[in-house]
């Protein structure tokens, strides 16, 4: 049962990634792209957890944890750059 759920989840996540990548490619604005990158980070964290579930291991949990904790830093600095130019003032 869980296997099927995981497969379905993977499929949905894959679709999300594809859509995100399209948004990243098309833009039209830089903000759209930054948000696409952010979404990509979130999707990756989800995929890492799913992958761990599938293999029945906690080995990749920390990678998901790090993305959850620090993945937004990329988004933050990009936004800071777009709004202020100077990232560290």
Which residues of the shown chain bind other proteins in the complex (CB under 8 A)? 10, 14, 17, 21, 24-25, 30, 33-34, 37, 40-41, 44, 47-48, 51, 59-60, 62-63, 65-67, 69-71, 73-74, 76-78, 80-89
Please give the sequence-ordered ranges of beta strands (E in DSSP) within 2-88, or none if there are none.
Answer: none
Burial 1-31 (b: 16+ CB within 10 A, else e): eeeeeeeebeeeeeebbeebeebbeeeeeee
To the nearest whole angstrom, how small is the minimum distance from the Cβ of residue 42 to other proteins? 11
Q: How far is the CB of 3 from other proteins (least distance, A)?
A: 15
């Amino acid at each position: 049962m869980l296997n099927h759920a995981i497969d379905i989840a993977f499929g949905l996540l894959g679709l999300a990634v594809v859509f995100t990548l399209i948004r990243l490619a098309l833009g039209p604005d830089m903000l759209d792209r930054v948000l696409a990158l952010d979404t990509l980070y979130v999707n990756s964290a989800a995929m890492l957890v799913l992958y761990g579930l599938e293999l029945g291991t906690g080995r990749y949990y920390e990678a998901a944890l790090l993305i959850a904790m620090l993945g937004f830093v990329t988004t933050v600095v990009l936004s800071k750059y777009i709004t202020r130019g100077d990232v560290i003032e």
